[in-house]
Amino acid sequence: MTNWKQKVIVITGASAGIGEGTALHFAKFGAKLFLTGRNSDNLQKTKDQCVQLGLPDENIGSVVGDITDKTVQSKILSGALEKYGKIDVLVNNAGMVHYLKTGDTSDEEYDEMFDTNVKAQFMLTKAAMEYIKQTKGNIVFVSSICGGRPMGELPVYCMSKAAIDMFTQCLALELAPFGVRVNSVKYNSVEDS
């Protein structure tokens, strides 16, 4: 059985929804958390809930910011490493969706979804890989059934999740020789907290 009290888990998009739920789940096991999100008030609520579950405040680090910003990506990794000295698990949860059909999607909306759902996760993972190799850790991507199931009102979102699914598979092959596991979680729909 894993001793989560010795594990450092970085969770993006932890200020709401699946990311928040993931943080609360690992807090119950006493893991050391490093949380990120765009909304400082909501991120603080997540941290407060973790403390209410018994996780010591010193076992929670955080960075507020947009995951698509390379400076924020650097702060996430440097913050986790400065606080804990290692990274065992990276949960790539941050994401967004626009409910728009192809003809209604602007260039900006397309770029925003791909920058958040694909590029930012790729770049953060790329930067974190060497640290995760050192711990023989885990990388988890939060995907969606939309990555393999077309939906007419969500073409760009579906495309972005299909890209993450393929990246997960490719990265799993690349990192397996180093003892690093790479997986994705494909959810249907969830109620936000």
- The catalytic site residues sit at 157
Q: Which amino acid is at 182?
A: V
Containing H/E element for 62? strand 60-64
Question: For tokens 């894993």, what's the residue?
Answer: 2
Contact status, residue 182 vs residue 175, Cβ threshold 8 Å:
yes
Helices (H), the chain: 17-28, 40-52, 70-84, 107-114, 120-135, 155-175
Which tokens is 76 given? 């996430």
Q: Which of 158, 97, 120, 118 is nearest to 36 (CA)?
A: 120
